[in-house]
Every structure is written in C-alpha cells, then in structure tokens.
Amino acid sequence: MEQIYVDHAATSPMHPKVIENVYETMKSQFGNPSSIHSFGRQARSILDNARSVMAKSIGALENEIIFTSGGTEADNYAIFGICESKTRKGKHIITTSIEHHAVLHACEQLEKKGFEVTYLSVDEYGQIDLQELKDSLRDDTILVTIMYGNNEVGTIQPIKEIGNLLKDHSAVFHTDAVQAYGIEEINVTKQHIDMLSVSSHKINGPKGIGFLYVKNGIKLTPQLFGGEQEKKRRAGTENVPSVEGFKTAVEIAQQERLAKRETYQKYKEMILSILKDNNITYRQNGLVENSLPHVLNLSFPGTNVEAMLVNLDLAGIAASSGSACTAGSIEPSHVLVSMFGDVERTKNSIRFSFGLNNTETQMEKVGHELVKIIHRLTH
C-alpha cells in the first residue's frame, strides 16, 4: 500500500539536493567558522553565502540574519531578547490567541516575571481585528508578536497593515513566519517587519536549523552565553552542514514558489471537489481566499478526530489535527477554540498539508478514502 504524506505543515521531507549538499559539506568542511586558518575561512564562506541568500529572500541585509536552532529558538530569542532589553520602557506585550506554542508559552513565562500580555481575539476565520490591535496599543507596549500564516488553518494575518500601524510606535513588531516562509512573498522592508522567525524543516531543509531576522538598530539581550558567534548575538559554533542544506532549500523554494502555490491550490480544489461530488458534509476552517495554499483544514460533522486519524492512517494517509490526542481524551486545538469556542467543530477537524512528492493521483486517493471513512463513521 502506498503511503501518502499530507502533513507537511508538521515537517517536510528533505529535498534530495539538500541531502546531497549537507553530505558533501559534512565530508569536506569540518572547520570552525571562527578559526582564522584556511579550514575556518572555508566554513565561514559557507555561512556568509547562506546568510546572503536568506537575507535576499526576505528583502533584508546580510547582517540582519541570525542563525538559530530552528523556529522555537528564533521565536524565544525575539520575545525574551526584546523584553529583557526594553524592560525600562515598559512591560506590555501584544500577541494573539492562535500563536504557535513557541510564542504562547514564551509569553506565559514572561507573565510569571511581571510582564502583562494582551491576547488579541480572532474571528471565526482566524483573523485578528486591526481596530482591536490599535485599541490595545499603549505607551508601555514594547512588543507586538503576531504570526504571519497560521499552521493549523492557514489563515494569513494582515501583516503589512500591522506593520504600517506600528511603524510610528516604539513597539517592536515580530512575526512568526515559520509556516509562511518559502510559499508567501515576504519583504520585511515593505511590510515594516522588525523581527521574523523561520525554520528550515518546513521547506524541505534539515531539522534543527532556522534564522531570526532582526532589523538593524534593534537590540536583543542574548539568551545563550559563550563565544562571540553571530556577531555576539548567539553563542555556539554554527552548524555549517545544516546551514548549507538550509541555503539549498531556500534557493529551491524561491525558484519554485509560484509553481508550488498553483499546485497546492489545485490539490485543495481536487479534494473538495471529490467531497462535494459524493455529498459529504464538511466545513472549511480558516479563510478560503487569504490563506496559505498548502494548508487545508476541514471539519466533518458526526466524526471525531481520533477515529478519523486512525482510519486515515490505516488507509496509508498521514494527516493531522491541531489536537493533542491521547488515548481516551482529546484536547481541542487552541486555534479552533479561539475561532469557534468550545463546540463540536473543534473536535472533528482534520488538517491536510501538501508538499514535496505529493501528486494529483495521491490527492484523488485522499479524497476517495475520506469519502469511504466518513461514510463508515457516520452511517
């Protein structure tokens, strides 16, 4: 039985070219980038080239890119780094109720340390209200952290409008772009973004590597202490092979971005068309138009997450939900609860997310298997 992976929003397979480049780098480049001899200089050159590629991909400058161990560290560094450096100016943070836990748990930790956090609500489509953001801004607001595109339902926030709203305010604007990077067109200058988090393993790069963009002039208190790597901003010898793999993944993502958007949109339409043709009752969660093209979140009345995921897995289809499923109990996704409240829809929604190696034939199978499973569970 063919295994079909439609959980690319959780993690993605490494691209063959990425694997090749990581392997070659591991084989031939073992120097420490901080060493001044030829081995070190060669390693340093790999970092410099990668930094240049990543900076260009978001319209930033090379010295504004800090390599991290992934999206979680990038989010944590942005949030703790700013809050510790700006404590004297205020202790108020604004975020949303649907952020990734790397942001939410960081904010909760800061609340224990005396910071005040405003959690913006979202509408039934998962989007914030710009007026609520405007009304929440205060003189002592030091950070606004709002995700670019949601990892569970795909809804994209009005990032440019948020950037415009904040450009004359002293608060720093950070966005977690982990799910949007590589598929959306991002320009930190045009969108007035001060800090932005990215993770490699979402775009067919290696796990354990990412970057944080920090606009020049913004001071972050370091969170790791040791050497003077990353211009004294992030201690620790850089992961050179992974950085090379990440760079390759970024280059491929940039080249294929528009074609991928079209393909993934087609996949969405194929699955929905099969469901409609077979009179399956479903509701699409999140915005239909202003949404990440590779994320499709559907609610199926009369089913439940656990049974759906088990049946899909038995059919060779790997999908997911935003829920933390344990035997006998399901904790509804905080994103869906924020959108709909504590209703049945939060317990019967499945996320399908597309990426490398997916085909139209696979999408047809996903659609038809879904029809079978839903009939089995609801009749």
Tell me the helices (H) and strands (E) count for the chain, helix number first.
11, 14
How far, CA to CA in Å, does 102 sit from each of 91, 176, 353? 19, 9, 20
d(CA 305, CA 350): 7
For residues 126 and 286, the answer to whether their CB atoms sit within 8 Å is: yes
Please list the helix, strand and coil fractions of the chain in percent, rounded to the nearest 5, in that order: 45, 15, 40
Per-residue tokens: 157: 């926030």
Alpha helices in 32-175 (DSSP H): 38-57, 71-85, 101-112, 130-136, 159-166
d(CA 60, CA 189): 7
d(CA 235, CA 239): 12
Q: What distance lies between CA 39 and its chain's CA centroid?
A: 34
Which amino acid is present at 142? I
Strand-strand pairing, 295-299 and 210-214: unpaired
Kindly report the length of the chain. 379
Active site residues: 325
